[in-house]
Homo-oligomer: A and B are copies of this chain.
Amino acid sequence: MASNAGRRLNIDNINPHVRAAKYAVRGELAVKSEEYRASLQSGATDLPFKQVISANIGNPQQLDQKPITFIRQVLSLLENPALLEKGDVLVSHLGYKPDVLERAKKLLASVGSVGAYSASNGVPAIRQSIADFLERRDGFPANQADIYLSAGASSGVNTLLHVICANEKSGILVPIPQYPLYTASLSVLDAACVPYLLDEQKNWGTDLATIKAAHEKATAEGIDVRAIVIINPGNPTGASLAEADIRAVIDFARQERLVILADEVYQTNVFVGEFISFKRMLRQMQQEQPGAYDNVELASLHSVSKGMVGECGHRGGYFELVGFDPQVQAEIYKFVSIMLCAPVIGQCLVELMVNPPREGEPSHALYTQEYNAIFNGLRERATALHKAFEQMEGVECGTPQGSMYLFPTINLPAKAASAAAAEGRTPDEFYCMRMLEATGVCVVPGSGFGQKEGTLHFRTTFLAPGTEWVGSIVRFHKEFMETYR
């Protein structure tokens, strides 16, 4: 048998920055939940639950969310263009509307085959369609040459951090709690994460004084802070930023010469207020004070993974650059070229997301019906889950505002903390592990996203249908509190 001594690679000599990276969303709890799922599938009856609920990850179509018909019909034609030769059969027998066929033909005319590489930054006609969408959304023009298609927003973040960070002194302001893509990518890059706390009392909004203090402290320590990440609507918090907060961040970025990385993948998952893009706000401020904001550099990211589209398995997304130096953009182009291009069918899906059927077009009614049903379903589930949390002793959770998550505070008894320490776990990890074992519901401990010292949380999606799993969390919590009181 192979012995460790003889191998070239071992845990102590591989890339230490990869080793240092943490990614809790798919960590120990997720692995254990998959083991439970496999046990149940192979007929196990000794578990105290009958199904595993993966509330650890925003994976809409793994749970109840159905793909949107218009989108999938077009994709089926892109995969098999020979079907277009039988347009009459598609319409008369298979429920395809004429605008589905038209859209597929139009996309194929610009894409060629979805099996061919596209330009490194994406199919030109798709970039133009995104630019048109941005103009409709924001009321300001967008240039297709500043848009880069990516394999989901994650790949876009990876590209941007790779170009922005020059060495281990390069720092990026990252909200805490945050989606761990940011800390993990900065670990791998060996760049500095400069954490700034979000304000739970302000519904997890940004607090400028806190951001300033974090920036000052890092700068004093010799960190060259280069960019600020804003996740709006928030992940894991669900927060939806107000206009004043966005303006304050842009002002601060201008003053301290920080690139703004606006992660806006939940822009359609907003229940309270309205989504305001950083691009729109920046352009508005540029109009109000000509010349003052011209040097602000903004990269904003979007994705097909979330929202009502929910097509994360297709790995589609894009980012738009505003105010970047053309030589820097050329380096970004070269960097994305090394991986050739984003999946072309995913690029087409981005086009379908930003350019849905319009009023008067044959697919519009069904599209709207499906879209609204998903939106309302998510809001109802968020509300039901929130109601359950309100009844649970020691649990505090603000009104659901957006994204796909709730991030409640849990106040646990001291005895639970000792029991956790005895297992070598943080109290929130301990709590989530017990919840998984008792209910089959997999959530992520707050420590996986970062949390203010002395506080404990967990993140759960509200994607799973039904109320049974919510009831099982309520029962588990009651028993947990009784055991450790």
Q: List A residues at the B interface (Cβ < 8 Å).
A: 1-4, 6-11, 13-16, 18-19, 21, 23, 25-26, 34, 57, 59-62, 67, 69, 72-73, 75-80, 82-83, 86, 89, 93-95, 112-120, 151-152, 154-155, 158, 162-166, 181, 184-185, 188, 226-227, 257-259, 294-295, 297, 310-315, 323-325, 327-328, 331, 334-335, 337-346
Contacts and interface: CB of A to CB of B under 8 A. Distances in A.
A251 B483 CA distance: 60
Number of copies: 2
A16 to B, nearest CB: 6
Nearest to A75: B79
Given A9-B324, A18-B162, A166-B14, A344 B314 contact: yes
Contact of A115 (B4, B94, B310): B310
Contacts of A311: 115
Given A116-B61, A151-B343, A295 B80 contact: no
Nearest to A339: B154
B117 A59 contact: yes
A166 B13 contact: yes
A116 B327 contact: no
Contact of A257 (B8, B76, B152, B259): B8
7 contacts: A14-B164, A15-B165, A61-B116, A62-B117, A75-B79, A115-B310, A115-B311
B295 A2 contact: yes
A10 B327 contact: yes
A343 B314 contact: yes
Contact of A69 (B67, B82, B334): B82
A314 B114 contact: yes
A163 B95 CA distance: 49
A317 to B, nearest CB: 11
A313 B7 contact: no
A267 to B, nearest CB: 19
Given A57-B117, A338-B23, A164 B1 contact: no
Given A259-B9, A338-B23, A343-B343, A162 B15 contact: yes
A434 B14 CA distance: 46
Given A80-B73, A152-B339, A166-B15, A113 B62 contact: yes
Nearest to A332: B18
Given A18-B331, A26-B337, A89-B94, 17 more contacts: A2-B294, A3-B294, A7-B257, A8-B226, A10-B327, A11-B331, A15-B164, A75-B79, A76-B79, A86-B94, A115-B311, A117-B312, A117-B313, A151-B315, A154-B338, A188-B338, A313-B344
A182 to B, nearest CB: 10
A328 B340 CA distance: 27
A116 B79 contact: no
Nearest to A347: B313
A389 to B, nearest CB: 26
A327 B7 CA distance: 12
A254 to B, nearest CB: 9
Contacts of A1: 294
A227 to B, nearest CB: 8
Contacts of A73: 80
A19 B315 CA distance: 27
A312 B325 CA distance: 31
A26 B154 contact: no
The 10 closest A-B CB pairs, nearest first, are A6-B295, A76-B80, A313-B344, A61-B113, A75-B79, A61-B116, A11-B327, A62-B116, A115-B311, A26-B337
Which has the most chain B C-beta neighbours within 10 Å: A6, A23, A80, A325?
A80
A55 to B, nearest CB: 14
Contacts of A155: 339
Given A15-B162, A116-B313, A166-B15, A340 B7 contact: no
Contacts of A340: 26, 152, 154, 312, 315
A313 B111 CA distance: 10
Given A14-B331, A115-B310, A3 B295 contact: yes
Most B CB within 10 A of own CB, among A10, A76, A155: A76
B83 A93 contact: no
A18 B335 contact: yes
A160 B236 CA distance: 30
Contacts of A83: 76, 94
